[in-house]
Amino acid sequence: MHKFVNKGTGATVSGTAFRIVLPLILLITIVIAVILSVVFYSTQKANLDAKIAAENSVRSILNDRQSQLATLAKDYSYWDDTISNAFYAQNLEWIDGNLGSYLTNTFGISELFILDSKNKSILSLQEGLPADWTDTIKITGGLEELIISARESGPEPIPVSGILLIDGLPALVGASVLTPEWEDSKQVPTPRPVLVLAKRFDENRLAEISKSFGLADFRFQRGDLSLSFPDLSSLQIRTLDDSFLGNLIWVPEQPGTSVLNYIKKPLAISLFLVLIFGSWIARASTLTARRLAEAHHMTSKLTCAIEQTNSAVLIANRSGTIEYANSEFLRMFWHHAAEEANLKLSELLPTERYPRLGRAFMSAFNEQSNWAGEVEHQTMDGSKSWIHATVTPIKNKNQYSDVVCVATDVTHMKEAFDEMAHLASHDVLTGLINRRLFNELFEQAAHLAMRDRSRSAILYIDLDGFKEVNDTLGHAVGDQLLIKVAERLKDSVRESDVVARLGGDEFIVLLHNIDNRSDVEHSAISILTHLSKPLNISNHPVCISASVGIARIPDDGFMPNELMRKADVALYQIKRRGGNAYILFSKEMDTHGLSNKV
């Protein structure tokens, strides 16, 4: 395989040895300097990008876990069985099967408390077993603020979550007030009791996160580590009262360093030998021929060193002729078996196939500008991959004549980042978008409606009788039912509409560009019709219905929070009437229905 192409045939040994040898030495030095600078720059940039991406992903994961814990607290606090068997009575068998060992084994809950109106513990569980609240468990960092915030919710509980300190360890904590499901259910005193769920950051749970998301040496460390361990990725942990606890730290992936560690030794050896060889030639011009041969030998060693890297390296001149291409570059971009001694840049990287790289080379040649970015690449077997490339002009004697390109396959890293981003924005069970992403899309839709005077609507959907399915057939059947409901919701609306799961058995649909009220009602009827069709889940016949509360843009306003509230008020009204129907929000609901709700 040709390592350097389009080089001269060499020079004869003569009295002008220095004029022949010294440019060669300078050329070698420049090539080494350029390659080293590009390699080191790419190394640092790749490491920094990987570190930042990992920190952002961990932050999203932590926020998502808090949201999931808050939703779980609401699911169990908004349940008549919890009020009857855990608050008014201590049904130990029911508590263990539905709260204690079940929540610990299924969701990793480490602590569970039910506090009465005076914040006295009615029920205390630790790792699924009864525990004494006052003697063995110490919670600091804002528990009182969490309880107050939970009690500020309306008739339907609004869960809250945060990070507190439990027995000296940080823990995710979710809280929600106990609320009867129906008006004729057994009521609770005021202020309402609070259900508190916690998941500690102990070694087992940190190890679970580390294994699930590939975070090496993931652990919690007290104190500020930014000065002591600058190379570690970290995320500050603060309690609800803004007390600094410490950092979640892990060893970030360092793709650039891995490549550098692989090639730095042969590169350093080659550079050292070339420098010694150059000084030797300068002192003994009579041995020019032998020195030139050894210079070529040293250059070959340098080429071998680069050949052993995982990065593809190419150097091209202004005329478009490739001066250097290692085997990795040819393997990546040149699919012909025959060697090409006069390979052109346009043949190896055709502009129609790699337009971004073509523009980068032109900018490097004409404007001496650097470029770094990702390009899509099609391999020999037809599959798609992603390449991270840098294009840098080489300055020689105040002139830019050459350009060096270093490319690395980052397909696996990009797929990993895409997967982490998908997990942070989608519901794990149903695959629908989650509350966080829906809120972003809803805000965009509201702004577009305000700007374009278009009409949209949101349909707040709550399943009727879902808790009975969970209670009689089990949570596994309930989970399969939620998956089927998600599929039917997507089949009931247009591809341009948005379907999301807010948590539990609550879903929401955003209808874009609705012409009139009848279109909204038609969509609601389609949803109710699809959901009412019988299902067979794990050999269990299941029938389900739903209640739908509707708010419209601009009829009910433009502010997303206000529209969500109005849709929730409408949903509450239709649930009170027995469900299995839809209703559009009206001003009368806001003046009468909401007051009854409060």
Between 571 and 454, residue with greater pLDDT:
571
Residue 176 CA to residue 149 CA, distance in Å, equals 9
Percent of the chain with pLDDT over 70: 79
392 pLDDT more than 90? no
Preceding amide of 554 cis, omega within 30: yes
Residue 509 CA to residue 37 CA, distance in Å, equals 52
Residue showing tokens 């650039």: 256
**pLDDT for residue 292:** 63
> What is the H or E stretch that residue 545 is in?
strand 545-553
Confirm if 344 and 352 have CB atoms less than 8 A apart: no
Scanning 186-254, the segments in alpha helix (DSSP H) are: 203-213
Residue 562 CA to residue 566 CA, distance in Å, equals 6
Confirm if 587 and 555 have CB atoms less than 8 A apart: no
Residue 71 CA to residue 65 CA, distance in Å, equals 10
Between 317 and 286, residue with greater pLDDT:
317
- Summarize pLDDT for 450-500 with one digit per residue, the tens: 888 888 999 999 999 888 888 888 888 889 989 999 999 999 999 889 999
Between 279 and 335, residue with greater pLDDT:
279
Report which DSSP code applies to 193: P
- Summarize pLDDT for 292-316 with one digit per residue, the tens: 666 666 777 776 767 766 677 878 8
Confirm if 344 and 317 have CB atoms less than 8 A apart: no
206 pLDDT more than 60? yes
- Summarize pLDDT for 245-268 with one digit per residue, the tens: 777 787 877 676 766 776 767 767
Residue showing tokens 């004729």: 184
Mean pLDDT of the chain: 79
- At 261, is the secondary structure helix, strand, or coil? helix
Residue 48 CA to residue 195 CA, distance in Å, equals 42
Phi, psi of 279 (to 5 degrees): -65, -35
Phi, psi of 148 (to 5 degrees): -60, -45
Confirm if 455 and 449 have CB atoms less than 8 A apart: yes
Return the closest-CA partner of residue 218 out of 240, 235, 230. Answer: 235
Both tokens of 189, joined, read 């005193």
Between 4 and 523, residue with greater pLDDT:
523
Confirm if 500 and 437 have CB atoms less than 8 A apart: yes
In order of 218, 251, 483, the CA distances from 423 in angstroms are: 19, 21, 16
Pairing of strands 582-584, 312-317: unpaired
- At 509, is the secondary structure helix, strand, or coil? strand
- Summarize pLDDT for 427-444 with one digit per residue, the tens: 888 889 988 889 888 888
- Summarize pLDDT for 220-232 with one digit per residue, the tens: 777 665 556 666 7
**pLDDT for residue 521:** 92
Confirm if 411 and 385 have CB atoms less than 8 A apart: yes
Residue 392 CA to residue 487 CA, distance in Å, equals 50
**HEC profile for 431-497?**
CCECHHHHHHHHHHHHHHHHHHCCCEEEEEEEEECHHHHHHHHCHHHHHHHHHHHHHHHHHHCCCCC
Between 333 and 93, residue with greater pLDDT:
93
Report which DSSP code applies to 192: P
**HEC profile for 42-64?**
HHHHHHHHHHHHHHHHHHHHHHH
Average of per-residue pLDDT across 582-597: 71
**HEC profile for 274-312?**
HHHHHHHHHHCHHHHHHHHHHHHHHHHHHHHHHHCCCCE
**pLDDT for residue 571:** 93
Contacts of 196 (CB under 8 A, 6+ apart): 73, 111, 112, 113, 114, 115, 143, 146, 147, 173, 174, 175
Both tokens of 87, joined, read 């608050």
**pLDDT for residue 565:** 94
Confirm if 99 and 86 have CB atoms less than 8 A apart: yes
Average of per-residue pLDDT across 535-554: 90
**pLDDT for residue 223:** 66
